[in-house]
Amino acid sequence: MVKKMDVQPGTLALMILKTLEVLGPLHGYGIARRIEETSKYRLKLNYGTLYPALLKLKQQGFVTTEWRLSENNRRAKYYSLTAAGRKELARETREWYRTADLIAAFLAPRREAS
């Protein structure tokens, strides 16, 4: 059984934006399922966190919304990436690579000075 992890602060927006870039417009449930699937079900996604994050991304102009019929023939709010969202995704991606590189430098084995 895979141990579930909490979503790290500051990562959910990046995961949402990347999911929309890869798959195109999706409803919230679809975004949540894709994030869990991509994490190989290691992430523990709190829906009380997902929807406020989507609302914030909309308020920031990074996503737009549109009501459509879902694959179950129910009305659902679909989220789409905007041009500003693509730029934000690129910026956040660069920042995460820089952060990962910095942390890797601290975690790498070091030789003791003689």
Q: CATH number, domain at 47? A: 1.10.10.10
In a domain, 25, yes or no: yes
Domain that includes residue 94, residue range: 5-107
Percentage of the chain lying above the pLDDT 90 cut: 76
In a domain, 113, yes or no: no
In a domain, 64, yes or no: yes
Calpha distance 13→93 (Å, rounded):
11
User: For residue range 35-73, what is the model confidence (pLDDT) as tens digits?
Assistant: 999 999 998 787 888 999 999 999 999 999 999 998 889
Calpha distance 32→100 (Å, rounded):
24
- Residue range 14-18: mean pLDDT, rounded: 97
In a domain, 73, yes or no: yes
Calculate the average pLDDT of the chain: 91
- Residue range 12-24: mean pLDDT, rounded: 97
* Higher-pLDDT residue of 43, 25: 25
**Structural domains counted in the chain:** 1
